Amino acid sequence: MAKICITNEEVLQRMPNLERTLTPDQRQKVLHGIRIQTYKKHERVYSEYERAHDLLFVISGKLKIFKDGTGGKQHIIRVVLPNNFLGYRAFFAQEDYRTSAEALETAEVAHISLSMLNDMMHVNAELACFFVTELAMHLGTAHERAASLTQKHIRGRLAEALLYLRDAYGLEEDGCTLSIYLSREDMANLSNMTTSNAIRTLSAFAQERIIAIDGRKIKLINIDALERESKFG
Amino acid sequence: MAKICITNEEVLQRMPNLERTLTPDQRQKVLHGIRIQTYKKHERVYSEYERAHDLLFVISGKLKIFKDGTGGKQHIIRVVLPNNFLGYRAFFAQEDYRTSAEALETAEVAHISLSMLNDMMHVNAELACFFVTELAMHLGTAHERAASLTQKHIRGRLAEALLYLRDAYGLEEDGCTLSIYLSREDMANLSNMTTSNAIRTLSAFAQERIIAIDGRKIKLINIDALERESKFG
DNA sequence: ATAATTTTGTGTTGTATAACATATTTTAGT
DNA sequence: ACTAAAATATGTTATACAACACAAAATTAT
């Protein structure tokens, strides 16, 4: 078990967009309020219908946010990488969680009390504006993705998922390998298809030299083709 | 052509959640900044890829917010009734519009400059918090709907759309007729199916006495059955 | 009122994709 | 190292839904 070797101070510095909105006083309170927790692979960070208490910030590792649908099939909303926030939407909407989150790999997550932040927000316009921007961006991608998932065909949805993973999580040094390795099942849940079809379609893309597959490692070979597929091919 | 017969003062009073956040000074500026515009049925209020300038507030009539997908089929994101806001997300995310909006029937819409509101927001925490709540709620329904539209079958999606319309827009005095009359095509675009299938499935529901149809007027007869269908029947 | 257009309704056919089955490979556990 | 379990792969079958075709009704325009 790797022990936590990052200070609250360091964590706070990793969230400059939030940090810079705080008064010295508020900064102090937040600093001391940070609690870091480690989650093992597949461990739940929070579950649908629970009460939301904390703003979460991924320090290391990756999480997925999803909704469990009919027949155990889950709909992945997004994958959260280090230095990103999650877990605050439900609280601000004054609801319980409507999604669940779990670790895709061992992950360190910072917890900050949302009721504390909420109190600060009501007297700190910049802090509130930070969340406005954050929410507005996520709402945009949510609409975008809803339209794609419902209108595109399998190849288009998978192509889009691959491009999404590239945009959101980047490539390795070689400039074409996706930095994120997902299981075929998670790829399927992200693209709204069965696992079989994710496997099949990835194989098809590989045979067409659009991508290259080595286990969970995926190289994007022909970006143009992917983009064509994505806008309905 | 019906002329506009509502004062800016009256409009402002119809948005108490926003109004109450404003200082007297800001209130005055907003009051004078309100411009009311009338849109005819099917008229565009804004279009995808345009720059977002105004916060919009529906005074009368109904709008639909949608994305045009492949093959002219549109994905309706939501229907906006009087006393509701729209048009602000893109601005706060610092993007151009990613959706379009048009009038489902003649509609009066108040326009308020977003850059003015944005300036106020940065010094008025309560105003910013208003948008945080607004955005957080919409993001919740966006996730909810994305999961439903991708996972449920036709009957479930249509049943859900009917319940959604009831929850969002209410019933007439008889306690069972939906207050909103949509074309079969719009029902289809809301439930992610073809027009034919919306018609067919509505007929099926009518034959099963789950609903009753009289043109565009829809009575919800058996709510239990609808709810059962909605959670995957 | 009459024609033209749009909306609604219903049947038929085609197809994308889910569901199922089963083999192989990889990963995890003892 | 050996076993069990999970993930990957691929072929076959079944089906939900789209696409198409056309008729009837309703709305809109002339």
Q: How confident is the model at residue A1 (pLDDT cuts 50, 70, 90)?
A: very low
How many CB atoms sit inside 10 A of residue B121's CB?
A: 23
B138 token code pair: 């919409």
| Cα of B174 to nearest chain A Cα, Å | 31
Task: Give the residue nearest to nucleotide C8 (CA to C1').
Answer: B199
Of B132, B149, B166, the domain-final residue: B149
Residue A18 lies in a domain: yes
Give the global pTM: 0.94
Residue B215 lies in a domain: yes
B136 in the same domain as B48: yes
Asked if B14 has any chain A CB less than 8 Å from its own CB, the reply is no
B181 in the same domain as B210: yes
CA–centroid distance for A212 within its chain: 24
pLDDT in tens, B194-225: 999 999 999 999 999 999 999 999 999 999 99
Cross-chain Cβ contact A124/B125 below 8 Å: yes
Query: Which of B95, B123, B133 is facing A92, going by the closest CB pair?
Result: B133
Q: Residue A233's pLDDT is what? A: 57
Residue B55 lies in a domain: yes
Q: Where are the alpha helices (DSSP H) in chain A?
A: 8-13, 16-19, 24-33, 89-92, 114-121, 125-151, 154-169, 184-191, 195-207, 223-230
Of A101, A133, A149, the domain-final residue: A149
A201 touches strand C (CB under 7 A): no
Residue B1 lies in a domain: no
Query: Which of A125, A131, A150 is facing B192, going by the closest CB pair?
Result: A150
| CATH number of the domain bearing residue A81 | 2.60.120.10
A67 in the same domain as A114: yes
Task: Give the residue nearest to nucleotide D20 (CA to C1').
Answer: B196
pLDDT in tens, A147-171: 999 999 999 999 999 999 999 889 9
A117 in the same domain as A12: yes
Q: Residue A165's pLDDT is what? A: 94
B77 in the same domain as B135: yes
Residue B2 lies in a domain: no
Mean pLDDT over each residue of chain B, to the nearest integer = 94
User: What DSSP element (H or E) covers B138?
Assistant: helix B125-151
Query: Which of A69, A125, A146 is facing B123, going by the closest CB pair?
Result: A125
Of B149, B178, B208, the domain-final residue: B149
B94 in the same domain as B166: no
d(CA B130, CA B88): 12
B120 in the same domain as B169: no
| CATH number of the domain bearing residue B174 | 1.10.10.10
Give the β-pairing of A107-113 and A35-39.
Answer: antiparallel
Residue B3 lies in a domain: no
B145 in the same domain as B157: no
Domain that residue A214 falls in: 153-230
Chain B contacts of A20, Cβ < 8 Å? none
d(CA B193, CA B50): 28
B135 in the same domain as B79: yes
Asked if B20 has any chain A CB less than 8 Å from its own CB, the reply is no
Q: Residue B3's pLDDT is what? A: 56
Average of per-residue pLDDT across B22-37:
97
Cross-chain Cβ contact B132/A132 below 8 Å: yes
pLDDT in tens, B65-96: 999 987 778 999 999 999 999 999 999 999 99
Residue B203 lies in a domain: yes
As ranges, strand D nucleotides with an atom below 7 A of a protein CB are: 7-11, 16-21, 26-27
d(CA A153, CA A149): 8
d(CA A48, CA B183): 35
Cross-chain Cβ contact B142/A139 below 8 Å: yes
pLDDT in tens, A94-141: 999 999 999 998 999 999 999 999 999 999 999 999 999 999 999 999
CA closest to A129 among chain B residues:
B128
| Cα of A74 to nearest chain B Cα, Å | 9
∠ CA A4-A10-A16 to the nearest 5 degrees? 135
* Burial tier of B217 (Cβ tally within 10 Å: 0-12, 13-18, 19+): exposed
Residue A2 lies in a domain: no
| Cα of A98 to nearest chain B Cα, Å | 7
A135 touches strand C (CB under 7 A): no
Number of domains within chain A: 2
